[in-house]
Amino acid sequence: MIWHLIATFSAGLGAAGIAFLLRSLSRQKLPKWIIPAFAGLGMLAYQIYFEYNWFEHQASRQPQGAVVVSSQKGEMFWRPWTYFYPMTTAFTVVDSNSLQVREIKGLTLVEFIEYRFEKQYIDVVTHQRYLMNCTEAQKVAVSDNQQVLSKQPLNVERTSLLFTTVCPTSK
């Protein structure tokens, strides 16, 4: 967070320096307000760049074997440019190296953990353990001590990236 703040101020300072150089090259014909205006635009441009590259940056930081199974794009009122080009605000990751596969009564059950990353004023990471029935293409949330948390299983599309990641050998 501190590095992001330092980078924002550096972008503003660099843009203000460019404006100062332009004002000097024009022999002071450009107005004085161009320097703080460039500083503000430089900081805003860096902030927009950082927000749109948040997903790629976070996804690149995931460990080997982590698969992004879904992402969510959204618009925000205080960021009017997102209405034209929505930015990724959340994504879900499954660690394919930590899958626990069991065969019980002819059913293929896979226990896995979904990690959800959300872009808020600070990054939020939540996790939920699931049990996927690969035979029936259903998943149910479970607690860390193997207690079922939801009464109704959720159907999962067999063509979804979540299903193909968790149940690679199922048809």
pLDDT in tens, 100-118: 888 888 888 999 999 999 9
Q: For residue 170, what pLDDT is reported?
A: 55
Q: What is the pTM of this model?
A: 0.81
Q: Is 34 exposed, middle or buried (0-12, 13-18, 19+ CB in 10 A)?
A: middle
What's residue 85's pLDDT?
93
**Segments making up each domain of the chain, as ranges:** 2-52, 64-166
Distance CA 67, CA 98 (A): 12
N-term to C-term CA, the chain: 45
**164, amino acid identity:** T
Q: pLDDT band at 146, cuts 50/70/90?
A: confident
- CA distances (Å), origin 30, targets 18, 25, 37, 40: 12, 9, 12, 17
127-142 confidence digits (pLDDT tens):
999 999 998 899 999 8
